Amino acid sequence: MLKKRKKATLTNVIKLLLVNVFLFGAYSANAAVLYDQTGETSGFGTADTIYESSNDDSFDSAIADDFVVTDPEGWVINRLNITGFYGTTLKANSVNIAFYPDNAGSPDEANPVSGCSFTSLSITTDTAGFFAIGVISTDLPVGCTLPMGTYWFSHSANMDNDFLDGHRFNAQTTLFTVNGNEAHFRNPGDGFGTGCITFTPRSSCNLPSQDMVFSLEGIVDGAVIGNPTNISGSGCPDDTTIMSNIGYTSGSRMLNFTQHDVGKSDGMVADSGETWKSDCNFTLPIDIPAGKSIKKITLDWNGLSSGDTTKFRRKYLLNGQSYGPWKTKKFNFGPATEFALSDKLTFMDPEVGIDTFALETCGGTTLNLRVKTKLVAVYAHSYITIDSLMADSEVYNPGPDVTVVYGVCDPD
C-alpha cells in the first residue's frame, strides 16, 4: 500500500530544521577524545531523526560533518558524542552511524568506509531532554579504523511515533565556527521541501552555514607497549622497583625507577678511588598492529649527576639482535646538574626503502626490546641517577619515556 505523503510547508522547515529556541551548552573533552568540536552552540538544532513506526518516512533525516585524522598512525574510533535536544519528552530508541571518505568537500555516500556503518546501535548515555541541551553518546560495536586524512560521519536518531507529533531529535549546530567544510543535511523523502535528498551543504538546504557539535573518542592506531618484563639488576631487582604508566593515544610508556641510582651524595665520606656501579635490565614488549611497520623507537632519558666523574651506559637488543654497541655518556659536572639524553632506534622506512636494521615487523607481531643500563660513579662524592620527564628530581629515580613511530606496510 502506498504511504500517504504529508505536505511540506515553510512552517515545517522553520520548525523542524531551525528549532527556534535559543540555548547554550558546552562540553569539555576528556583524555579519550581524538576530535573535539564541542564549543559554544548556536542554540539551534537540525532535524536528525528516523521515524521507525511512522506511516510516513518523508521526514526521515540525518546530519553529517567532516573531521581530520591528524595522526600518521591513524585512529580507531570507538565512540561518537552528539550534542542536541528533543522536541518532546520522548527519547531515541537507538542511533545510526556511518563514516565516509571525503569527496571534494562532501561525504562519499557511494563508498562508505568498510566496516564503519552501523544501524540501530544501543545508546550508551543520553543526557538530552525536552528542549534541554545534552549529549547522546554511542559506543561502536567494533572500532572504526581510519588512516590519516579527511572523513565524514553521519548520525541519525531512531524514534517512535510521527514527525508531526513533535517527536524529534535536533542535533546542535556551532555558533560561528566552521571547521573544514560546513555540515551537511540529508532528507531522502524531501518532506522538508529543501531538495536535499542526499547529503548536501547546509547553506544549500535553506540553513545557515554551520557545523555540528560533536566529539569522537578512541585511540591512535599505533603500537601498545606493555609493562616491563624480565627485570633484573641491583638498580631494579624486581617489578616493585619500577613504576610503569602508559599514554592513552600513543605507543608510549613512562618508567620510573625507585632505586636505580649509585654513588655518594654531597656530605658523605668515601675513599678517593672508590667506584660504585648499578645496573638495571628489562624487556619492553611492543605489539605492532597488522599492516604497520615500525620505523623508530625513541628513548628519552632524564637524570641528574654530581661529583667528579659519572657514567650512564645503555645497550638495546631487539628480538635478541643487538642494536649497536654500548652507548656511554660521561659526566664531569661537579655540582648537581640535570641532564637529558635521547636514543633513537631507526628501522626500515617504507617511504625511502632504507633498511637500517634487519627486522621484520609487518603483518602484526610483538617486538621485544631488551634494555640494559649501567650507572657508574667514580671518586668521592660522585652520584648519578635517572630522573623523570614527568616529575621533579626529588620525587623519583626515573627511566625512559619510550615512543614508537610507525609507517604503513606496503600491501604489495
How far apart are the C-alpha atoms of 188 and 205, rounded to whole Å? 13
Query: Which three cell numbers, joined as nine digits, stand for 408?
Result: 604503513
H/E stretch holding 14 reads helix 10-17
User: What's the CA angle centered on 266, arms 261 and 272, to 5 degrees?
Assistant: 85
pLDDT for 198: 97
pLDDT for 392: 22
pLDDT for 121: 94
Query: Which three cell numbers, joined as nine digits, stand for 295?
Result: 620505523
How far apart are the C-alpha atoms of 255 and 247, rounded to whole Å? 11
pLDDT for 248: 38
Domain ranges of the chain: 10-220, 224-408
How far apart are the C-alpha atoms of 164 and 190, rounded to whole Å? 15
Give me the residues paired with residue 320 across strands. Answer: none
How far apart are the C-alpha atoms of 356 and 366, rounded to whole Å? 19
- Sequence-ordered list of residues with C-beta below 8 angstroms from that of 252, at least 6 positions apart, any chain: 225, 246, 401, 402, 403, 404
pTM strictly above 0.75:
no
pLDDT tens over the chain, length 412 residues: 223 333 334 334 333 333 323 332 222 222 368 999 998 788 888 999 998 766 678 999 999 999 999 877 788 898 999 999 998 888 999 999 999 999 999 999 999 999 999 999 999 999 988 888 899 999 998 889 898 899 999 999 999 877 767 788 999 999 878 999 999 999 999 999 999 999 999 999 999 999 999 999 987 766 677 788 899 998 888 777 777 764 434 456 778 878 788 886 544 444 555 678 889 998 988 777 666 667 778 888 988 898 888 999 999 898 888 888 999 999 887 788 888 988 888 765 444 443 445 455 555 678 888 999 999 988 767 888 876 433 221 212 223 455 556 565 654 4
H/E stretch holding 17 reads helix 10-17
pLDDT for 387: 66
H/E stretch holding 158 reads strand 149-159
Q: Identify which of 150, 213, 153, 210 has the alpha carbon closest to the alpha carbon of residue 178.
A: 210
Cell numbers 633513537 correspond to 344
- The answer to whether 174 touches 213, Cβ cutoff 8 Å, is yes
pLDDT for 143: 83
How far apart are the C-alpha atoms of 59 and 94, rounded to whole Å? 17
How far apart are the C-alpha atoms of 119 and 148, rounded to whole Å? 25
pLDDT for 266: 45
- The answer to whether 287 touches 357, Cβ cutoff 8 Å, is no
